[in-house]
Amino acid sequence: MTFASAPEPAVDTAGTVASVVGLRVHFESKAGRVHAVDGVDFDIRDGETLGLVGETGCGKTVTARSFLRLVPMPPGVHAGGSIYFRPHVRCSNCSGLGCDVCAGTGRLPVACGECAGGGCPHCDDTGFETIDLSRIPERQLREIRGDRIAMIFQDPAKALNPALTVRSQIAEVFSQHRSDEVLELAGLGTSRNPLLRRHVSQTTRLFERWLLALPPMRSQRRRIEQVIDGMVAAALAETQIPNPAKVMQRYPHELSGGMKQRAMIAQALACNPDLLIADEPTTALDVTVQARIIELIKQLQVRHESAVLYISHDLSLVRRVCDRVAVMYAGRIVEIGPTEEIFANPLHPYTRGLIAAIPSRAHDRGQLVAIKGTVPELIDPPPSCRFVQRCSYAVSICGEIDPELASGPGRHAAACFIHNPPEDAAELPSFSRVTT
């Protein structure tokens, strides 16, 4: 099965790292309830790059941020649906190097705690541990954030704390999620010293820091610092930053935009996450740097075998980067499928409009194709197709019933009556007939 839709449980969920089911996120405003994300379903498969495209305000960022519960509530309201996430652990057979058991990824999904792999309602009959990110307690979520799911932000200049060096910001990830490993590497794995443990996870108090600065503890502290330095430098080196040992002592304002984004990527991939959410990671960068950053994300994704949710409004970029594409419009997914198919044979009129709007050599100089009309208000929307006012093929039924996302011809799905006509409709829309 190539896409998830709510009614039938997905068959091949073993390979999915996350599935969004009927997600609804609304915002309370003075004018009414804004349905920013209104019933979104999709799967992210292990190791794939899924592009989430759509125009500004279509809900793609809210969808992505919902994964890590970053949407401020209030004014945000989680109005329904779930985000299921299947965390992986390092493959015990090959300790992360890649073997037949883990299909070369070095990682294995965690067995379900309820049925130990047998399949039960808790894990949706997959036998794998399934976590509902929208419902787990904050503490459990914090363990997932940065470790199993990481995120890269749009503007690296704003996403790095100006008051801290690059080193301390990347070291933060290790102290949150890898404190045992740090102690191990420092040769202190067996140490029961609570002070050292607190030092690694950076929860020491003031007077404890003084204790650590005294001779008996000092050498051990040095070793820990050196291990962390090494880990940070290795993380930075992976993003092809020259001279990481020097760069990590710098403050963000001393680095260029591209360097900052590399540091962000290093931080995001530091713990080898199962899922990387990239929220328009190159929008704030200039075009030459953009190309290199995208190349880097692709390379690292292949090496780490992470799944990537790539959010963008740049279709030509998505075409180059993504394995599958989901097109969002006004809080809904209108079309989802493999990239080549979407671009070769777009099913939804909106997708067609978007693809037609990509500037190409076929257009006359100075002329750009646009979709007529504007995005509808998302305040208490009526039960109709969201695209009806701008659609050239709309007929009466489009304004009365809301089309569901369902498979059309080929391997992809669209939410449009052209491909999935309702049985009792008097008049059906068709690409062959322009109605407006």
Binding site for another protein (CB under 8 A): 68, 70, 96, 142-147, 150-151, 153-155, 158-165, 167, 172-173, 176-178, 181, 185, 222, 225-231, 233-235, 238, 244-245, 249-251, 264, 266-267, 269-272
* Cα–Cα distance for residue pair 201/206, rounded to 1 Å: 14
Pick between residue 74 and residue 121 the one whose CB is nearest to another protein. Answer: 74
Q: Given the structure tokens 């976590």, which residue do they identify?
A: 131
Minimum distance from CB of 145 to another protein (Å)? 4
- Please list the alpha-helical segments (H only) found in 51-178: 60-67, 138-144, 156-159, 166-177
The amino acid at 80:
G
| CA angle (143, 81, 13) in 5-degree steps | 70
Minimum distance from CB of 52 to another protein (Å)? 17
Minimum distance from CB of 424 to another protein (Å)? 47
Pick between residue 278 and residue 333 the one whose CB is nearest to another protein. Answer: 278
Pick between residue 37 and residue 264 the one whose CB is nearest to another protein. Answer: 264
Question: Which structure tokens are listed for 208?
Answer: 């404890």
Pick between residue 87 and residue 429 the one whose CB is nearest to another protein. Answer: 87
Pick between residue 260 and residue 419 the one whose CB is nearest to another protein. Answer: 260
The amino acid at 91:
C
What is the distance between the terminal CA atoms of the chain, rounded to a whole angstrom? 36
* Cα–Cα distance for residue pair 175/58, rounded to 1 Å: 36
Q: How many CA atoms does the CB half-sphere of 275 hold within 13 Å? A: 29
Peptide bond between residue 75 and the one before it cis (omega within 30 degrees of 0): yes
Pick between residue 202 and residue 392 the one whose CB is nearest to another protein. Answer: 202
b/e sequence 199-210, b meaning 16+ C-beta within 10 Å:
bbbeebeeeeee
Contact predicate 238/266, CB 8 Å: yes
Minimum distance from CB of 336 to another protein (Å)? 25
Minimum distance from CB of 91 to another protein (Å)? 13
Minimum distance from CB of 181 to another protein (Å)? 6
Pick between residue 175 and residue 392 the one whose CB is nearest to another protein. Answer: 175
Minimum distance from CB of 151 to another protein (Å)? 5
* Side-by-side strand order, sheet with 275-279: 149-152, 275-279, 307-312, 49-53, 324-329, 332-338, 413-414, 406-407
Q: How many CA atoms does the CB half-sphere of 357 hold within 13 Å? A: 14
Minimum distance from CB of 13 to another protein (Å)? 25
Shortest CA distance to 107 belongs to which of 272, 241, 343? 272
Pick between residue 173 and residue 388 the one whose CB is nearest to another protein. Answer: 173
Contact predicate 48/324, CB 8 Å: yes
* Dihedral angle over CA of 391, 394, 400, 403, nearest 10: -70
Minimum distance from CB of 133 to another protein (Å)? 13
Question: Which structure tokens are listed for 259?
Answer: 């360097």
Q: Residue 82 is inside which H or E element, if any?
A: strand 76-85
Minimum distance from CB of 139 to another protein (Å)? 9
* Cα–Cα distance for residue pair 176/409, rounded to 1 Å: 47
Pick between residue 86 and residue 177 the one whose CB is nearest to another protein. Answer: 177
Pick between residue 16 and residue 239 the one whose CB is nearest to another protein. Answer: 239
Question: Which structure tokens are listed for 339?
Answer: 């990239």
